[in-house]
Chain A
């Protein structure tokens, strides 16, 4: 049981480049989430998917797009990276959103130059 996996672990981009962060879970969870972690800001929700086929914006969605590819996979895309998107990105999943425990992936450290 791998839990929540994320790829890549590290990435360096130049301003304007695009990339997709991948996330997969093997716990048959319905809900998946993308967060970013910045110093002093805690965890901020970018987008979430309460169930397969649905996605909703979180607190900081600008500059990002998501795709819930199937029940297992939830990807985050940066279309035109900016230095302000330098952060650590965490994917998480839960059985359902709200009262169920979230399980986090190992994170992706992204630097935009």
Chain B
């Protein structure tokens, strides 16, 4: 059974803090790693899709890195804002044509 683990489960930071979370996935048979942002009462929205070892993606203050050899990805948020409060999901695919396996997410709360 393929397992995707995210840590921490939740965290609370102050506005302006930078933070990062981890997604761990099986290092064998890697195909793609996705990050999604999920605000309360809304639907998940895609942040990044990464496919190559060493990939780095950036969107505004949010960035992500990928290490397929050791099976982890980091998501970084620089200078957190209250509007960054959401659950951040990662999802793993081990080959083309298969469904994603989602982690349970990291819930971020940013106080002003």
- Dominant SS among interface residues on chain B: loop
Interface size on B, residues (CB 8 A): 24
Interface 0/1 of A32-59, CB less than 8 Å to B: 0101000011111100101000001010
Does chain B have a CB within 8 A of A103? yes
Interface 0/1 of A53-94, CB less than 8 Å to B: 000101000000000000000000000000000000010000
Interface residues of B (CB under 8 A from A): 31-32, 34, 36, 42-46, 49, 51, 89, 93, 95-105
Closest to A40 in B: B104
- Dominant SS among interface residues on chain A: loop
The CA of A100 and the CA of B45, in the complex, are separated in Å by 13
Known contacts A42-B89, A99-B49; A104/B44 CB under 8 A: yes
Interface size on A, residues (CB 8 A): 25
The CA of A90 and the CA of B99, in the complex, are separated in Å by 14
Known contacts A41-B104, A43-B102; A98/B31 CB under 8 A: yes
The CA of A4 and the CA of B74, in the complex, are separated in Å by 29
Contact indicator A42/B100 (Cβ below 8 Å): no
Contact indicator A98/B46 (Cβ below 8 Å): no
The CA of A45 and the CA of B4, in the complex, are separated in Å by 13
Nearest 7 CB-CB pairings of A with B: A42-B104, A104-B43, A99-B32, A101-B46, A98-B96, A98-B93, A43-B102
